[in-house]
Amino acid sequence: MTEPTQHFYQSQRLRLSYWAWGAADAPPLILMHGGRDHARSWDRIAEAFQDEYHVVACDLRGHGDSEWATGSLYGITEHMLDLVALLEVVGRPAR
């Protein structure tokens, strides 16, 4: 079992964190946690899929190792914009 690697990306002037498992050239599989959680809650699921996919689990804004958006919103719209930025970093359509 391979340990995940932590990466950071920018979205809406925030430094957001994600963890990656598996080969970078494998098809991407994006995992997003719910409220009051963090990316590493996906560890067991990510480990199960890392042989077939490049698994990416993100820390939503204000969660895990991602920055807080002081004076900003934490709604679905903001999270979706962050997801679009993450998909641009991954570089290809995800499953």
pLDDT digits (tens, 9 = 90+) for 62-91: 999 999 998 878 889 999 999 999 999 998
Give the 3-state DSSP-derived string for 15-57, with helices as H, strands as E and coil as C: EEEEEEECCCCCCEEEEECCCCCCHHHHHHHHHHHCCCCEEEE
Whether the per-residue pLDDT at 22 is higher than 80: the answer is yes
Q: What is the pLDDT of residue 94?
A: 63
Query: Using one digit for the tens of pLDDT, what is the confidence trace for 36-58?
Result: 899 999 999 999 999 999 999 99
Single-letter amino acid code for the residue at 8: F
Task: State the pLDDT at residue 95.
Answer: 60
For 11, the 3-state DSSP assignment is strand
pLDDT at 30: 95
